[in-house]
Amino acid sequence: MNEIVNEHLFWRKDFHPEDDPVISLANQNEKGFRETQETTTNVLRKLCAKLKLTSMPWHSPRYLGHMNADILMSATLGYIAAMLYNPNNCAYEASTATTPMELEVGKDFARLMGFDTDIAWGHICTDGTVANMEALWYARNLSSIPFAVKKVRPKLVEGMSDWELSNMKIADILDLVDKVQDVWDEVRDSSVRGTGVNQAQLGKWIVPETKHLSWVKAVDVLGLGLDNEINIQVDKHFRMDIKILEQTIEDLAAKKIPILGVVGVIGSTEEGAIDHFDKIIALRKKFEEKGVSFYVHADAAYGGYARSIFLDEDNNFMPYNSLKVQLHKLNIINQDELDWPSQDVYNAFEAVSQADSVTIDPHKMGYVPYAAGGIAIRDKRMVDAISFFAAYIFEKGTDVPSLLGSYILEGSKAGATAAGVWAAHHVLPLNITGYGRLIGASIEGAQRLYDLVQSVEHFEINGTKMRFESLIKPDFNMVDFAFNIEGNKDLEKMNRLNLDLYNLSSYVSGPVYKDDFITSHTKLDYEDYKDAPLELVKRLGIPKEEWDKVHSLRVMRACVLTPYFMNDKVTENYWQKYVESMKGKLEELVPKFI
């Protein structure tokens, strides 16, 4: 860090060193200058005190809260180095160093997802919310192009009904775009962007119940309306129920209601579940034979980087059995004790390469500083459907680096983010030997934590037995669990117990040094999950009738992003400390519930 700062100081001094200092020694001796220095010092000391008092100790294995962990040194220093130069990656003239880095990272995203980097494209967003919104922006605008072409060049779609125009494949829409480049501005003005297209012609946006909140925001902001988002129930593994998805598409098609797109989640933010993305892709192929097609997006904001585990050093997606051998051989996941990935998880990650677009967040499993989201699209021709031009940022017709601001939802954004991600990718390659090793360690840690929870029959708290159960075997690196008093059949009482337990280790108020361990928590409601939580409710001793009455379950949520639990000794050491911590808190709480 010292070297980085010194380099920056020399950079400032070396630009026309013949110039006299703007701030002279006399200026520095003025009263106002000295007072400002003193005020700044005092404010920064107060700031540091506030940060130390309540900031999360995400660097410690004791932190199992939000999707956050210690960040890579390369990413941190890369971010700091670029931050000093204050580049703005919206305007190329303000980011001549970091815009090319962002475009290189975009290619990394595309390669990681299995896209052809000669035709794919990607870039960094502020976060997954913006990336998801951008994906829906692509889907919405592209789906309206056939109707716009019908207005401007009707012969190109002659004989096609509105239903057929609503169900054109994305590749066919892009081929259509190639044929109208001479009147492209007129076509776009006749699309949903300009004179508009009837919403009924665009159709429904389908997401699983485990969707991130960003999808609700996206359909609202982009004017599609909340009524046009359909939520699909999850199965007992908290993955989108494919049978219900298929039936939903069948029902919509029978009513001649188009499907704008389907989202599969690769790592849900509450359970870490991996949807059957391969089956979503298979469904699209099946329905395309019936004349029904739709956009497919992979929301891999959380789990996207984990695809590196499946790639060899030549970026080939490894066969299932070969992968298992390599994970064991490289000591990434001990297959003698842990069975990961399952065939379902493997198939889902493999099929991501068939998505039209993918959200991926470097600030989650990329272990880089906030704010760093990202998106990759299969075909860079898609950007024409959303691009804008502003003369002060770029000139129309110039090279891509100058056009970055035209192809994104955001305006000004930190080039330091691109530098941080770029540095991380150059230190840790996006394959099994790089990020795969790091993320594999976190997955093994989560699998170990799950097994340890499952190994506990009960806790004894001053003569009272406590049940302790996990929600599901994790697809990824998140473990949800809950406690109940043996014999208690009151679900609301159990929920209060788990909420109070969470509050005793809550990180919403400081100082955090009093907390032995920090976990998150979440609420699984019937409105979102239907009966998926029922199995855990029963294992905790609560009857179905009680679930039918309350329809809500509170669970503790442990995001195991730390890579340090893969060591048996370390895991056992922290597990014993965690058990002792929970027992201490339960000793305080249980008497209130008996």
Residues with a catalytic annotation lie at 392
What six digits make up the tokens of 412? Answer: 């000004």
Measured in whole angstroms, the distance separating CA 470 from the mean position of its chain's CA atoms is 23
| Amino acid present at 144 | S
How far apart (Å, rounded) are the C-alpha atoms in residues 62 and 57?
Answer: 8
Q: Which two tokens stand for residue 4?
A: 């980085």
Cα→Cα distances 55→62, 361, 512, Å: 14, 22, 7
Token duo for residue 89: 């990656």
Is there a contact between 89 and 95 (Cβ–Cβ < 8 Å)? yes
Q: Is 190 helix (H, G, I), strand (E, B) or coil?
A: coil
CA angle 399, 400, 401 (to 5 degrees): 100
- Say which residue the tokens 């050491």 belong to: 573
Enumerate helices (H) and strands (E) in the chain, giving the number of each.
24, 13
Which of 298, 300, 302, 327 shows the shortest CA–CA distance to 312? 327
Please answer whether residues 418 and 102 qualify as being in contact, where contact means their C-beta atoms are separated by less than 8 angstroms: yes
Q: What is the DSSP letter of 516?
A: S
Q: Cα(362)–Cα(375) distance, rounded to whole angstroms? A: 10
Instruction: Tell me the C-alpha distance between 43 and 64, whole Å.
Output: 31
Q: Tell me: cis bond preceding 371? Omega within 30 of 0 counts.
A: yes
SS (H, E, C) 249-304: HHHHHHCCCCEEEEEEEECCCCCCCECCHHHHHHHHHHHHCCCCCCEEEEEECCCH
Reduced to 3 states (helix: H, G, I; strand: E, B; else coil), residue 231 is: strand
Sheet holding 357-360, edge to edge: 121-125, 373-377, 357-360, 295-300, 259-265, 204-208, 229-232
Q: Which two tokens stand for residue 166?
A: 């609503």
Neighbours of 26 (CB within 10 A): 8
Sign of CA dihedral 379, 380, 383, 384: negative
Asked if 301 and 272 count as a contact pair (C-beta separation under 8 A), the reply is no
Peptide bond into 341 cis (omega under 30): yes
3-state percent helix, strand, coil for the chain, nearest multiple of 5 = 50, 15, 35
